[in-house]
Structure 1
Amino acid sequence: MRIGEVAEQSGLAPQTIRFYEREGLLPEPARGPNGYREYDATVLGRLAFVRGAQAAGLSLAEIASILDLRREGAVPCSHVQSLLHAKLAEVRARRRELEELEVDLEGLLARSEELDPADCSDAQVCHVIAADRR
């Protein structure tokens, strides 16, 4: 199957498929006598895995590490589990950061409603976001 067919069946652009090849996420396809890439049907499963891993928040480097383990003959499930635990911890930490930012933004908006723009100096640029706001 040629890259256009793979793109159509996978829902990915041909450029994305070529990028994944360059990054080592896909095996190098065979080449026909005309130089065109010739893929076998297994590439669709690999692309589905890559898309699923990305949807779970894994980076391309993390995905490559999983594929490397599989290529070496290892079952990567425990590695995937540790990556997912780490990703979940990152998401929870980011959520806490966003909650803190939400409180800060609400405070700035409340402050902006109490301040008079005429009192803002050039040195402060904007007294709503002045360094001494707390």
Structure 2
Amino acid sequence: MTTRSAFKIGDVAKQSGVSVPTLRYYETLGLITPAERGDNGYRYYALTVISQVLFIKKAQALGLALDEIRQILDVRDRGELPCEMVQNLLAKKIHQLNTQISQMQTFKQELEAYQTQWQGLTPQLSEAEICPLIETITP
């Protein structure tokens, strides 16, 4: 074990706010610096791993997926600033959100139309139907 490696996996989990299995998963994906194994078999992580995990959490808070975060880290590992890539990823996310918002607004309007249409109706129970209101919908 070198002096660079100071934290056991449980310590990193506590300080970074992620679970031990999550840390192992991040390591498997290459998102964090791999642990060194001590003579006792324990994983020891470099001090930088906590900041790496915190970066991952911040990037996830922006809606970035782990594969997108991996791409950002790859650019940084090549010695380049990934800020333009991040801007492009965020622009793509914003476009996706605008599309989803539009679809949800349309869906909301459809539901409101059904609600208005069904007000004042007195459905009758029949053996062939489960809910006469829903039965009026054309898929």
Superposition TM-score, scaled by structure 1 size? 0.87
Task: Report the residue type matching 1:57 in the other structure.
Answer: G
Per-residue deviation, 1:117: 2.1
What amino acid maps onto 2:22 in structure 1? T
Q: Hey, what's the Cα distance between the residues in 1 that align with 2:108 and 2:86?
A: 32
Structure 2 residue aligned with 1:128, among 125, 130, 133?
Answer: 133
Higher strand share: 2
Deviations 1:76-102 (A, max 9, x none): 111111001101111111111111111
Provide the residue aligned with 2:55 in structure 1.
49
> How many positions carry a matched residue from both structures?
132
For 1:105 and 1:120, the matched residues in 2 are separated by 24
| Relative contact order higher in (CA < 8 Å, ≥ 6 apart) | 2
Structure 2: distance between partners of 1:115 and 1:69 = 61
The aligned counterpart of 2:14 is 8
| TM-score, normalised via structure 2 length | 0.84
CA distance, structure 2, for counterparts of residue 25 and residue 6 of structure 1: 14
Deviation string, structure 1 residues 61-86 (Cα, Å, up to 9, x no partner): 11111111111222111111100110
SS in 1 for 2:119: helix
Secondary structure of the 1:38 match is: strand
Distance 2:95 2:127 in 1: 43
Query: For residue 30 of structure 2, what is the amino acid of its counterpart?
Result: G
Equivalent pairs: percent with the same residue?
37
Q: Determine which structure has the larger helix proportion and give its number.
A: 1
Q: Considering only aligned residues, what root-mean-square deviation do their CA atoms show, in Å?
A: 2.0
Q: Which runs of 5+ in 1 are unaligned?
A: none
After TM superposition, list the pairs within 5 Å mapping 1:89-104 onto structure 2. 89-104=95-110
Cα distance in 2 for partners of 1:33, 1:105 equals 63
Gapped runs of 5+ residues in structure 2? 1-6
* Correspondent of 1:64 among 67, 70, 89: 70
Distance change (3 Å), C-alpha of 1:46 and 1:128: same
1:121/1:127 contact within 8 Å kept: no
Runs of 4+ in 1 over 4 A off after TM superposition: none
